[in-house]
Structure 1
Amino acid sequence: MMQAGEPHYVLEDQVGFLLRLAYQRHIAIYAAKTPGDITPVQFSMLYRLMHERAPVSQNALGRLVGMDAATTKGVVARLVARGLIEKTSDDDDRRRHTLSITAAGRAVMENHVPLMRSVSAATLAPLDAAEQDLLVALLKKLT
């Protein structure tokens, strides 16, 4: 129960609620503009692997995309099964796995990078250029 003098709580003004709505909008745009062959999380992993100079450990890849170990393991397993990334045992520590993008993974990324630019542009379309830059800067500050 709200006490006298307490500010009224308005769900529609709460950052978590607004971020969730913005994310839902972004995902709907993603679904409409992409062929649906990879998820946004898979795109992030493939993108990171494509831009690393050497194979990356599974744990490091998870950290690079801000994902916990269990989720990383599942996403990696799906990408390996599809032949988009290659998983090899580390020469120094057989328990450790390194990951690298395959030629098939690179081909998927060549198609998806322009699509993702389009998804981002559509997501930000209601904002003018200055607002777009500010939103991205503020989100970076929060993360």
Structure 2
Amino acid sequence: MNASRLTDHTGYWMRMVSNAVSQEFARKVAGQDVTVAEWSFMRALYDLEPVPPSVLAEKMGMTKGAISKLAERLLAKGLVVRTENKDDKRAHSLSLTNEGRDKIPVLAALADENDAEFFDTLTREEHETLNRILKILAERRGLDATPVD
């Protein structure tokens, strides 16, 4: 019986590229004392704040538990603040602190730099084609959770 080689699989090549891009980006954001997951959380919060954790969890396609863990880490770093609901003491919202808000453009620039460095071997047309195909795959497969790992 023949067995296909690893390199026969598109997923193999996608994972190879994804790992390389992600690992380099993780190294870059670590210099800003955040993880890729924390960056994703902060970037989502940047557009929504203030927001209840349950809304953020739904937006990011994550569990409330995962959001809570990320929130706790960012609260400890002083990048996120929790505000209690005046009408319901059990409810609260999350928002970025001034320091957290100031980090967003810095981290976004690192993401832009990482993409530019990695994908600069492609022509503009090739890069646009790659993005278009990946978006088609994500849409057709109903993939909408924010990748954090």
TM-score tier after normalising by the smaller chain length = 0.7 to 0.9
Relative to the length of structure 1, the TM-score reads: 0.79
Relative to the length of structure 2, the TM-score reads: 0.77
Query: What one-letter code is carried by the residue in structure 2 that aligns with 1:62?
Result: A
Match of 1:87, SS state, is strand
Out of 111, 119, 123, the residue aligned to residue 124 of structure 1 is 119
- How far did residue 101 of structure 1 move? 0.8
- How far did residue 47 of structure 1 move? 1.3
Out of 18, 23, 31, the residue aligned to residue 23 of structure 1 is 18
1:44 aligns with 40
- How far did residue 9 of structure 1 move? 2.6
1:110 aligns with 105
Mark the runs of 5 or more structure 1 residues left unpaired by the alignment. 3-7
Give the RMSD, CA atoms, in angstroms. Answer: 2.2
Which structure has the greater CA radius of gyration? Answer: 1
- How far did residue 75 of structure 1 move? 0.9
Out of 130, 135, 144, the residue aligned to residue 135 of structure 1 is 130
1:66 aligns with 61
CA contact (8 A) 2:26 2:36 kept: no
Change (3 A) 1:31 1:68: same
CA contact (8 A) 2:50 2:93 kept: yes
- How far did residue 98 of structure 1 move? 1.2
Identical columns (%): 28
Query: What one-letter code is carried by the residue in structure 2 that aligns with 1:65?
Result: M
CA distance in 1, matches of 2:87, 2:135: 36
Change (3 A) 1:61 1:21: same
2:96 aligns with 101
